[in-house]
Amino acid sequence: MEPERERPSQPSSESPPPSGRPRPQDEDTETSEDRQMKVGMRMVGSAMVFIGFLNVFLSASTGSEMSVFPMIVYFTGMALWAQSSIEILGVRYAVIALSIICALAFFHYGEVLFWHKYIIYWGTIALVVFFMFKTPKPSPPPSR
């Protein structure tokens, strides 16, 4: 019989790993189906925001009137985009609630005034500029 060998000591579950990286169980365990659903919602939401914004932009630049439907499409797309893109829950649900309230307000009011168009126009431009210059967080390496 061979003598028993000493096993190397396992790091305790409370101490951080020596490399400084989080353990695999600490990382986000999002399934591929969840990621695909988020990507699909982000694409549909972005497309709806773009379609609504395009109508607002054309109406504001030509001075013509527009119905409330593009605004409802815009804010519905904003809610979908927020659900799939914003990580902080408080901010996510605040954006969704504000988008739904704005869509319902336009639906109830029944018309879009000139200053409504310019608030949407400049707000969208500010949002695009903000996310254009935001540095993305590095993605974790794929787990096997």
Give per-10-residue mean pLDDT for the chain (144 aa): 56 54 54 86 92 91 89 94 90 93 91 88 87 77 72
**Rounded to whole angstroms, how far apart are CA atoms 144 and 134?**
30
Q: How many angstroms from the chain centroid is the CA of residue 45?
A: 9
pLDDT value of position 70: 92
**Is 114 inside a domain boundary?**
yes
Q: Is residue 22 part of a domain?
A: no
Domain count for the chain = 1
In this structure, is residue 102 part of a structural domain?
yes
For residue 10, is it within any domain? no
For residue 38, give both structure tokens: 């988020």
Residue 122 lies in a domain: yes
| Domain assignment present for 14 | no
Domain membership of residue 50 as a residue range: 35-132
